[in-house]
Amino acid sequence: MRVIIFGGSGSFGTAMTKKLLEKSTCDIVIFSRNEKLQFEHRERIGKSERVRYIIGDIRDYDRVYEALEGIDYVLLASAMKHIDKCESNPNECRKTNIDGCINVINASIERNVKKLVFLSTDKATNPSTIYGCSKLFVEMYCKCVDNKNTEIIRTRYGNVFGSNGSVAWIFEKLSKEGKKLTVTNPDMTRFFMSISEAVDLVWKALREGVHGDLWVYNNKSCIIKEVADMFSKDQEIIGTRCVEKTDEALLTVNELRHSELLEDKYYRVNDSIENDYGYINPFTSDNAERLSKEELENMVNEWRKSL
């Protein structure tokens, strides 16, 4: 069995490769652009005969098609994911997050891949940014594309604590330099999870998901001040930027109406599921269960150990 991870050299891809090496016997292909990231990936997972590396850009359909030869399962993690960079380079965001992802989806269908899992984000739920819109478009494309043989499953989750470019890095840097932490709005709520929880969600969706599914992590949340306090109490409030929401959402009311909660951990959304909940609220970081201080501390420790 062969799995390819588009964007396999990133935070998610590295953790997923470790899990696949440990829990399965499959061969793994890592597809991404930057040689240095692929070198670092190899350093992190240790040399393995089962892992092969391909340099390529998902914007290039022919290269993607070539890489998919003999592949059974596809994980689609490649993305431009920094909100500010996407806002200031909207066409670059479109080329990677929309056109590139559509290349991967179409080429996977063309190659009769068994299953494809697309990684999306809470920012795609009622999006307020170009990044969120690009992810939502591809979520919809996954559901609507004409396709008979490839099962396409979408996943959606909140902020992975300490992933590339996350707030943890900024807070850690500022506190180490003895500077005030810059906090936009201390009362803002956000979903946070560990990288292993993100990997578990995608793993579960890969094994159990069926075509048309959207798998969403039953994420806990916290207020930003609690995260900042883990690094330093010396903080400066700088105000919310206009693209930032006060709270994020993982499921709309309509999606909740077509969902089931599995093992209290994962929502599976599918048009075929019908629930009559009466009046309900969307699943937001404001009304989600809050992370305890101990859970937050564990997340920070897991991240520091992984450095």
Q: Which residues have a catalytic role annotated? A: 123
Residue among 101 and 181 whose Cβ is closer to ligand NAP: 101
Residues 102-121 that bind ligand NAP (CB under 6 A): 119, 121
Task: Work out how close the CB of 74 gets to ligand NAP at its nearest, in angstroms, rounded to a whole number.
Answer: 13
Instruction: Identify any residues that bridge with 160 across adjacent strands, giving them in sequence order.
Output: 193
Tokens 């590139």 belong to which residue?
100
Our CB check for ligand NAP shows the closer of 31 and 231 to be 31
Nearer to ligand NAP, 53 or 276 (CB): 53
Which C-beta is closer to ligand NAP: that of 34 or that of 184? 34
Residue 214, SS3? strand
Smallest distance, ligand NAP to C-beta of residue 55, A: 8
Considering only 26-34, 144-152, 231-239, 286-294, which stretch makes contact with ligand NAP by CB under 6 A?
26-34
Nearest of 128, 141, 150 to residue 248 by alpha carbon = 128
Taking residues 157 to 176 in sequence order and writing x for each that binds ligand NAP by CB under 6 A, - otherwise, the string is: x-xx--xx-x----------
Contacts of 228 by beta carbon, 8 Å cutoff, 6+ apart: 171, 181, 183, 186, 235
Residues in 188-227 at the binding interface with ligand NAP, rule: CB under 6 A: none
Q: Which of 20, 77, 168, 199 binds ligand NAP (CB under 6 A)?
A: 77
Residue 59 interacts with ligand NAP (CB under 6 A): yes or no: yes
Of the candidate spans 71-79, 139-147, 213-221, 249-257, the one that interacts with ligand NAP by CB under 6 A turns out to be: 71-79
Decide if residue 37 touches ligand NAP (CB under 6 A): yes
Question: For residue 143, what are its two tokens?
Answer: 């559901």
Q: Quote the DSSP letter at residue 96.
A: I
* Sequence-ordered alpha helix ranges (H) in the chain: 11-23, 35-45, 61-67, 83-88, 90-93, 101-110, 130-144, 167-176, 195-208, 224-229, 253-257, 293-306
Phi, psi (rounded to 5 degrees) for 4: -115, 140
Looking at the Cβ atoms of 92 and 236, the one nearer to ligand NAP is: 92
User: What strand order describes the sheet that includes 115-121?
Assistant: 51-55, 27-32, 2-6, 73-76, 115-121, 151-157, 214-217, 266-269, 259-262
Q: Taking contact as CB under 6 A, which single stretch among the options 27-35, 66-74, 239-247, 298-306 is the one that binds ligand NAP?
A: 27-35
Site for ligand NAP (CB under 6 A): how many residues? 28
Q: How far apart are the C-alpha atoms of 192 and 236, rounded to whole Å?
A: 22
Among 19, 53, 57, 243, binds ligand NAP (CB under 6 A): 57
Residue 56 — φ and ψ, nearest 5°?
-175, 165
Place of tokens 């048009």: 271
Contact between 127 and ligand NAP per CB under 6 A: no
| CA-to-CA dists, residue 268 to 157, 162, 208, 214, 233, angstroms | 12, 26, 10, 6, 39
Nearer to ligand NAP, 67 or 279 (CB): 67
Q: Which of 96, 103, 259, 270 binds ligand NAP (CB under 6 A)?
A: 96
Residues within the interface to ligand NAP (CB under 6 A): 6-7, 9-13, 32-34, 37, 57-59, 77-79, 81, 96, 100, 119, 121, 157, 159-160, 163-164, 166
